[in-house]
A and B are shown apart, each in its own frame.
Chain A
Amino acid sequence: MPNKTFFWFFLPTGLAMILFIGLPILSTGIQSFYAQHDQVVKEVKKCDPFGCTVSIVVDQEKTSKIREEKPLGKFNGFGTYVDRNHLAIEEIAKFWNETNSFGEFVDQVTNLPFYKALIFTLTYCLFVTPNVLLLGFIIALSLNAVTRRIRGPLIFGTILPMIVTPLVGSLVLFWMIDAEGIIGANLQMLMDDPYLSLKSSKTLTWITIIIYGIWHHSPFAFVVFYAALQTVPQEPVEAAIIDGASRWQRVRHIVLPHIYPVVTFVALISLMDNFRVFEPIIGFSAEGSAQSLSWLIYDNLVNEEVILFGSAAATSMMTIVGIAILLAPVLIRTWKEFRTAR
């Protein structure tokens, strides 16, 4: 296709992506170097019959005037990146000097908001992704062994957790798991602990969100693996059966190598999706004990008094760096393949 034709065909979608994906990333980058203005304060002298007191109050008029004149805020350079709510360089240096043991130091650092969120996000990715691959593969194998006639409805039932939005999916589970729900109440009875509830325990909350993640993402892995299983050639499998290979050996040495490229694809997609985990935290009302990077950004953006654009933008930029690190191996591999293909 000639360049000119390509240009006109691609212009609308290209423009949409540049304007609403490319530019926003740029805008986030710029915003991250600014911070909201401090409030302007003034001294007010108040006198009553017993004497005069001087108090400091916020000058609303001046504050809002400055905000109007420079809506982006004041230039802060990398200030937001290193402050207490983000990389917290100073605090970490302080902890390093003041704490006695390494354990204590780690404890202090992981209590800082950014590191706390980072650790939750990574833990979530680390536990959800492999389990999704495993469970998806097992479901695909066992559904593949069912009579063809009843597979349709079974597949429909299997993909339900995937098609609802994460907020709804997590709410539906939360209502069952909460202390007043069917599973929560039975767990209390089973453990003989009337105070057992999701909100009371951090570990329990993390486990629940991770289980939710596996529940929500496995169907996707299942669908892709199931389709891939249909393309496995029959001859080598039959040959292996004649040679006396066990079921496990057949899966391990014929099926798995055949669908290997698909496994990397699913792993990549679910890693990308898991890294942005955010809605389940709202659905499970787990803000208290589990915060993710995306949730930190959301929290800054829905701030009641003044939206913390700079803070949200700084976290966003660091999230993007995280995504870049995740994607790097894939991109490098694609680049190499592309070079050799030429």
Chain B
Amino acid sequence: MEYGLDKRSNALKIFNTTFIIVWLLVACFPFIWTFWGSFKVRADFFSRADWWYAITAFNTLLETGGKFTTDAYSQAWTEGEFWKASRNTVIVTFFVVTISLFLGTLGAYALSRSTRNYAFWILIAALIFRAMPHITLVSGYLFPFFQLQIWGILPTTIVVLVAINQPFTLWLLYSFFKTVPKELDESALIDGCSYFQAFRHIIMPVMWPGVITAGLFSLMLAYNDFTVTALLLNQENHTMVPKIQSYLGTNQHEGNLMWAVSAVVSATAPLFMLVMFFQRQVISGLTAGAVKG
């Protein structure tokens, strides 16, 4: 709080700075460390002998002749078929975002312009749906999907993710549509537009910030999903996150940890870039429903 009257003591300033530095270390260091370690061999990053090897790259030097190696990346992307997983992620994310936004804007616009009781109840129902743990929904999907023989393929997963995403998208877009004055579409209606024309030509052009925010959240949901993709897709169609889990190995087969490390870095990097570009929208989305209280 930068108030003219407010004079902060030096002790408090030092405490504040220290706290922020410590917190930022806690928040970011794990990612920096993983990024650093992804260019080492396993014996260094997961060293049984001495963790300091991860910095001096003792084994990496022995095994590859250099201090840094991109072996983990090239192996995971080719042998580990991470390219396939990332292709699947791109497909899933693209369709989930487009369909979510299409359905969500229509529905949220109707909700924001309706004065009836049922609009309120629909929003409450959406809140309850939002609270459902995804795994309980998945346990409901599996059996019917096996019977209908639509298990394992990408389209099913896309539709499911769109549906799971709708409650949140509706709430978010609803609060954005509420900020667009009603007079805008009312005047268009008087001029003889239909509701859909008013929506398409008058409201949507001023809604871009809200749509971008909602799109980002749909994207993060589809991109980050583990529960649905791990259980509803077959091996061949796995997206990045379940793929990373498969590299970890199980009791039955030995995993390849360094593949997992490089895959984690490959999967997180685009997400971080995206958030860096759209930080403002992400934050406005998180606070849209909350601050008005």
- A interface with B by C-beta (< 8 Å): 1, 3, 5-6, 9-10, 12-14, 16-17, 19-28, 31, 71-72, 138-139, 142-146, 148, 152, 154-161, 163-168, 171-173, 175-176, 178, 180-182, 185-186, 215, 219-220, 223-224, 226-229, 231-232, 234, 237-238, 241-242, 247, 261-262, 265-266, 272, 275-276, 278-279, 282, 285, 293-294, 297-298, 300-302, 307, 309, 312-313, 316-317, 319-320, 323, 326-327, 331, 334, 338
Contact = CB atoms under 8 A, between A and B. Distances in A.
In the A-B complex, the 4 residue pairs with the smallest Cβ-Cβ separation, listed nearest first, are: A24-B140, A20-B163, A261-B293, A9-B110
A272 B147 CA distance: 32
Contacts, number: 280
A163 B272 contact: yes
B158 to A, nearest CB: 11
A253 B126 CA distance: 35
Contact of A1 (B2, B114, B248): B114
A166 B147 CA distance: 31
A139 B114 CA distance: 39
A307 to B, nearest CB: 7
A234 to B, nearest CB: 7
A165 B133 CA distance: 15
Contacts of B147: 71
Contacts of B104: 13
Given A175-B46, A301-B138, 15 more contacts: A1-B115, A5-B195, A27-B143, A156-B279, A159-B283, A167-B244, A168-B264, A171-B248, A181-B51, A182-B54, A265-B290, A279-B227, A313-B139, A316-B139, A326-B131
Interface string B126-139: 11111111111111
B261 interface: yes
A237 B6 CA distance: 10
A17 B106 contact: no
B122 interface: yes
B51 A323 contact: no
Interface in B137-184: 137-144, 146-147, 159-160, 162-164, 166-167, 170
Interface of B: 1-3, 5-6, 8, 12, 16, 19-20, 23-24, 26-28, 30-31, 33-34, 37, 45-48, 50-51, 54, 102-104, 106-107, 109-111, 113-116, 119-120, 122, 124, 126-144, 146-147, 159-160, 162-164, 166-167, 170, 195-196, 199, 220, 223-227, 231, 241, 244-245, 248, 260-261, 264, 267-268, 271-272, 275-276, 279, 282-283, 286-287, 289-291, 293
Nearest to B16: A142
A245 B47 CA distance: 54
A215 B220 CA distance: 19
15 contacts: A1-B114, A3-B116, A10-B106, A13-B104, A20-B137, A23-B140, A28-B139, A138-B19, A172-B33, A182-B54, A223-B286, A228-B291, A298-B227, A301-B135, A323-B132
A227 B166 contact: no
A1 B271 contact: no
Nearest to B137: A24
A227 B163 contact: no
A323 B290 contact: no
A266 B127 CA distance: 14
Contacts of A247: 12
B290 A334 contact: no
Looking at A12, A20, A319, the one whose CB has the most chain B CB atoms below 10 A away is A20
B268 A164 contact: yes
A179 to B, nearest CB: 8
Given A6-B110, A17-B163, A313-B139, A165 B224 contact: yes
Given A27-B144, A143-B20, A163-B220, A168 B244 contact: yes
A168 B267 contact: yes
Contacts of A185: 47, 50-51
A21 B163 contact: yes
A322 to B, nearest CB: 9
Given A17-B166, A323-B133, A334-B124, A182 B51 contact: yes
Given A164-B271, A185-B51, A234 B34 contact: no
B258 to A, nearest CB: 11
Contacts of A316: 135-136, 139-140
A264 to B, nearest CB: 9
A185 B53 CA distance: 12
Contacts of A1: 110, 113-115, 195
A224 B286 contact: yes
Given A31-B140, A278-B135, A168 B241 contact: yes
B106 A13 contact: yes
A316 to B, nearest CB: 4
A228 B115 CA distance: 28
B6 to A, nearest CB: 6
Contacts of A226: 283
B140 to A, nearest CB: 3
A161 B27 contact: yes
Contacts of B131: 272, 323, 326-327
A156 B276 contact: yes
Contact of A160 (B27, B111, B137): B27
